[in-house]
């Protein structure tokens, strides 16, 4: 299988973040053996360093020339679940984002955090989806928040009025503490 330079870079980035090879293959929709082969070649030939230096030195030019992408990772925890978005949250991915959030809406998780520290762009259509799911989660007593938004999207969070509606936390710990302390307070008020 012939891969583009962008795919090699994406494999490298995911591998560097210690994502397991099965998850990389699933996320990028390429065969597991291909991912294992690429990583093996990186490790044996020393190409990890050349890709890393190319990645940092040409980041802007690659950002302009590469195809837009969005990777979505779901991490279930003991008391809550997080969804990590990596890439661009644009209209092109509205259906994927909506589908992931819909799964969580019907799940048993009582708290949902959207981790956005690797999001480079956020547009109005995704902002509307986030606001809609915040309202839906609140209506079924689920705590819904944004975790660690990247500096690139902070202006959009304000522009689309998300920061005034959806709770935003810098860490998962702060999110978890807030989600469950409020839930306990609300629960004791009902008794």
Residue 59 pLDDT exceeds 50: no
Residue 187 pLDDT exceeds 80: no
Residue 64 pLDDT exceeds 60: no
Residue 4 pLDDT exceeds 50: yes
Residue 85 pLDDT exceeds 70: yes
Rounded to whole angstroms, how far apart are CA atoms 90 and 127? Answer: 9
Mean pLDDT of 175-191: 62
Nearest to 173 by CA among 134, 137, 147: 147
Structure tokens at 175: 């999110």
pTM of the prediction?
0.63
Rounded to whole angstroms, how far apart are CA atoms 44 and 34? Answer: 15
Locate tokens 């809406």: which residue? 105
Nearest to 179 by CA among 109, 127, 116: 109
pLDDT of residue 182: 55
pLDDT band at 158 (very low <50, low <70, confident <90, very high): very high
How do the domains of the chain map onto residue ranges? Answer: 5-65, 70-190
pLDDT band at 119 (very low <50, low <70, confident <90, very high): very high
Q: What percent of the chain has pLDDT over 70?
A: 82
Question: What is the C-alpha R_g of the chain?
Answer: 19
Q: Calculate the CA 77 to chain-centre distance.
A: 15
Residue 128 pLDDT exceeds 80: yes
Least-confidence region, from 38-52, 58-72, 88-102, 123-137? 58-72
pLDDT of residue 149: 92
Q: What percent of the chain has pLDDT over 90?
A: 38
Residue 157's Cβ-count burial label (10 Å; 0-12, 13-18, 19+) is buried
Mean pLDDT of 129-158: 93
Q: Which CATH class is domain 70-190?
A: alpha beta
The answer to whether 65 and 81 have CB atoms below 8 angstroms apart is no
Angle at 128 between CA 166 and CA 29, to 5 degrees: 100
Question: How would you label 2-34 residue by residue, b for 16+ Cβ within 10 Å and e otherwise?
Answer: ebeeebbbbbbbbbeeebebeebbebbebeeeb
pLDDT of residue 46: 57
pLDDT (tens digit, 9 = 90+) per residue, 65-75?
Answer: 446 788 888 88
pLDDT of residue 84: 92
Q: Return the higher-pLDDT residue of 131 and 66.
A: 131
């Amino acid at each position: 299988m012939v891969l583009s330079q962008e795919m090699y870079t994406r494999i490298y980035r995911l591998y560097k973040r210690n994502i397991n090879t099965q998850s990389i293959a699933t996320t990028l929709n390429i065969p597991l053996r291909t991912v294992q082969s690429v990583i093996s070649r990186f490790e044996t030939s020393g190409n990890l360093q050349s890709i890393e230096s190319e990645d940092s030195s040409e980041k802007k030019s690659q950002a302009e020339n590469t195809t837009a992408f969005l990777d979505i990772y779901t991490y279930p925890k003991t008391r809550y679940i997080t969804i990590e978005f990596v890439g661009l949250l644009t209209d092109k991915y509205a259906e994927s984002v909506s589908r992931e959030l819909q799964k969580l809406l019907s799940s048993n998780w009582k708290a949902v955090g959207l981790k956005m520290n690797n999001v480079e762009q956020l547009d109005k259509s995704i902002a509307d989806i986030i606001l809609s799911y915040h309202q839906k989660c609140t209506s079924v007593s689920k705590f819904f928040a944004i975790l660690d938004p990247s500096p690139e999207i902070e202006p959009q969070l304000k522009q689309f009025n998300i920061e005034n509606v959806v709770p935003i936390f810098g860490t998962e710990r702060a999110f978890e503490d807030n989600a469950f302390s409020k839930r306990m307070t609300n629960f004791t008020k009902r008794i």
